[in-house]
């Protein structure tokens, strides 16, 4: 079972950049993404490839949201802490490009996680990276983090 992407990510339009969860299990997921003109980072030519990190981060968030929904718990906000070994096969992701984010959990504890992420166009690797994420256990802790930067 999958859910509408708006129920899996604590984002609002236009910052929801992933389209739908194709499949998931206890350690991985496949999330569909289309590069769109309405994207906040889009130019007439497309989206810079380094924005692939945000696509990957949101795909990780959608996967985490699936796990929460499956377990009957609330979807929690997560924070991208860092990215390792980001590589892209092209400098620009053209408008209309449809990719699959293949996400695999490497390590997870109560609040920290490491994911291997690949953006694929069919069999072609578009970008890849390892993402380190933090997901506080409580909404209060997340609000505290968010208000520190203001």
Instruction: Give the pLDDT confidence of 5-14 residue by residue, as tens digits.
Output: 999 998 888 8
pTM for this model (two decimals): 0.91
Neighbours of 141 (CB within 10 A): 15
Neighbours of 99 (CB within 10 A): 24
So what's the pLDDT on residue 1?
A: 72
| 49: nearest Cα among 88, 11, 76 | 88
- Token couple for 74: 């609330």
| 126: nearest Cα among 45, 21, 44, 55 | 55
Cross-strand partners of 15: none
Rounded to whole angstroms, the Cα distance separating 42 from 47 reads 5
So what's the pLDDT on residue 11?
A: 83
Domains of the chain: 5-148 (3.10.129.10)
3-state secondary structure of 107: strand
- Token couple for 91: 């400098």
Residues 6+ positions from 134 with CB-CB distance below 8 Å: 78, 79, 81, 111, 112, 113
Neighbours of 35 (CB within 10 A): 22
pLDDT above 90: residue 138: no
The pLDDT tens digits for 34-69 are 999 988 899 999 999 999 999 999 999 999 999 999
């Amino acid at each position: 079972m999958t859910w509408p992407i708006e129920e899996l990510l604590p984002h609002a339009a236009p910052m929801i950049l992933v389209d739908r969860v194709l499949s998931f299990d206890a350690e991985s997921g496949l999330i569909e993404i289309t590069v769109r003109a309405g994207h906040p980072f889009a130019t007439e030519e497309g989206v810079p490839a380094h924005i692939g990190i945000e696509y990957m981060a949101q795909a990780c968030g959608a996967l985490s949201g699936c796990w929460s929904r499956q377990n009957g718990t609330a979807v929690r906000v997560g924070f991208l802490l860092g990215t390792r070994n980001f590589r892209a096969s092209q400098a620009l992701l053209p408008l209309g490009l449809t990719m699959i984010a293949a996400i695999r959990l490497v390590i997870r504890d109560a609040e920290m996680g490491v994911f291997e992420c690949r953006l694929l166009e069919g069999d072609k690797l578009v970008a890849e990276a390892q993402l380190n994420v933090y997901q506080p256990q409580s909404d209060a802790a997340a609000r505290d983090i968010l208000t520190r930067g203001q």
